[in-house]
Amino acid sequence: MRRACVLAAAVATALAVPAGAWAHAALLKTVPVASRTVNKPPPEVRLTYSEPIEPRFAIVSVTDAAGQQVSSGSPHTAPGEPQTLVTPLRKVPEGWYLVFWRVISADGHPVRGAFTFAVGPNPGPPPQFRVPSLSETAHTPQLLIARWLTFLSLFAAIGLFVLRAVIARPVARRVSGTSLRPLSVAFFVALAAALVVIPVYVVLATAQFSLRSAFDLGSILPVANASSFGHDYLQLELVLALFGVAAAIALVLDRPERPQRSVVELLSLWAALAAAASTLVMPGLAGHAGQRSPRGLALPLDWLHLAAGAIWLGGLIGIVVFWLNVRREGRVAALSVVVPRFSNVAFVSVLALIGSGIGQSLLELPTLGSLWQTNYGKALLVKIILLFAALALAAVNLARTKPRLEAAGVRPSDGPGAALLLRRLVQGEILFVVGALFAAAVLTSLPPPASALARVKNIAARVGPGAVSKVIQKGPYKIRVQVSPNRAAVNNTFTVTVTKNAQPVRGAEVVTQFDMLDMEMGTQTYRFRQTHPGSFAKSAPALVMVGHWALQFQVTIPGQQPFVVTLLDKASG
């Protein structure tokens, strides 16, 4: 019971366990600069991202006000700069141009965006561009299911091997007539499933990211290894196959009826465990855990998280397999050997799971509020609930089932009831953990909250979608903020009116800062021009992506301390 309380308290204080959720590729720099005017026609458009980009999966469209393409070739990476895409242009006349881009992050997630620039010196007023859909994610149903099955089968295989080769091994000599063969069979079934599901996942993801049909294997297979995501997952397939070979050798050489392992058995066992550990490194390398700073902390946390989850979930599955296949007359005796040993290992695994989850959360979540204010945080909350339910059942097992099984030698009448309760609780625990694993699959398809959330404080109002007209009271001043039409990647007009006692405030200064909150996109800063007494305006396509934006307006009144009005805005497409 004390252990159960410790677990519950740890989970309650943790932000739970975000299983390998990674940031997306962020556009850091554009040439020409977004929303600016250049005097000479640019020969190319250069887009610099936060990570290397595979050009074969990239789309960069540059169109004029009439919707005509002005690019003269496909995008390619700049020499020596794999994170920069270069798209050549024809000689373009004066006017406004829309750049629409779509790239694939290192973790396999598609990201889109758009911005405008003008060629001067007299480009004229910016037109209303027709922007392609800016909404695309990696959480389509087929990819979610494939990702979930990938990790479910991978966790089951590794956890079943650990249960069979390390935890349950002594039962073969302590309880006569007990066989470990069902656990070995279950391990090979899970391993085979993982070896099949992983390439299917890579094909489905590559098909979506390259905008091809999943059945067009002739086109998909040659480029599946081109992206960092595809390459690392195909490497995962290879390392997993090597783990399967090493595990098979270890199980063939193992003689569980002997209390001491031979040197050959020990070497084969440690080789298999090392291969399993190497397998769990690959998912981190396939995502931003392998690129996030500090990498030396992110990768170990990701590995520990996956290893702990695999031992817990795979071991639970193995307990059910063992319960169903052991002889009825020896069931209680066999379980009294296996369950206490697994309980101790599972307790350590859950603590490691929670600890690594806390560490990942500190790296990913900029504020506590982002836990319920963002889609990423909401998915995390679902996972917390499912893990709470699983841990509640685990606590009952620790408090009731385990002691009754251990005491079955003294009170045999307690044994059958304890064994039946064990199976029911473990089956329920498996369902909740598998559900939490699916929530993790959803979580990994969403970008973590932007670091700008940590800078956004004292939100005065939430506005959008649609045109904005909001009045905020700041001491003796009234601030009216207007945004029209409040749409992404088009020209928006931002107006701030400052009054005191219904009279316009003259001589004020207004500077604004726009931060994208759904992903890292950098900060845009503008100084507003006074158009009328007390009225300040700026026209610019500043909201470059659909989603949530922090609009911070710093107002400086002569002789007064500046103050900031912050709006949380939702820009539509």
- For the ranges 33-37, 309-313, 409-413, 437-441, the lowest mean pLDDT is seen at 409-413
Across 285-299, 468-482, 538-552, the highest mean pLDDT is recorded for 468-482
Contact present, 425 and 396 (Cβ < 8 Å): yes
How much is the mean pLDDT over the chain? 82
pLDDT at residue 460, as a whole number: 87
- For the ranges 141-150, 397-406, 507-516, the lowest mean pLDDT is seen at 397-406
Q: Do the strands 76-78 and 81-88 form a parallel or antiparallel pair, or are they unpaired?
A: antiparallel
pLDDT at residue 271, as a whole number: 96
pLDDT band (50, 70, 90) for residue 155: very high
pLDDT at residue 135, as a whole number: 52
Residue 37 Cα to chain centre, angstroms: 37
Contact present, 278 and 306 (Cβ < 8 Å): no
Task: DSSP letter for 455, please.
Answer: G
pLDDT band (50, 70, 90) for residue 204: confident
Distances (CA, A) of 529 to 85, 299, 535: 34, 48, 8
**242-278 as b/e: b if 16+ CB within 10 A:** ebbebbbbbbeebebeeeebeeebeebbebbbebbeb
- Pick the closest to residue 57 from 216, 215, 230, 198 (CA basis): 230
- DSSP bridge partners of 513: 525, 552
Q: Which residue has the higher pLDDT, 24 or 530?
A: 530
Q: Who's near 109: CB < 8 A, 6+ residues apart?
A: 24, 25, 137, 138, 445, 447
Whether pTM > 0.85 for this model: the answer is no
pLDDT band (50, 70, 90) for residue 102: confident
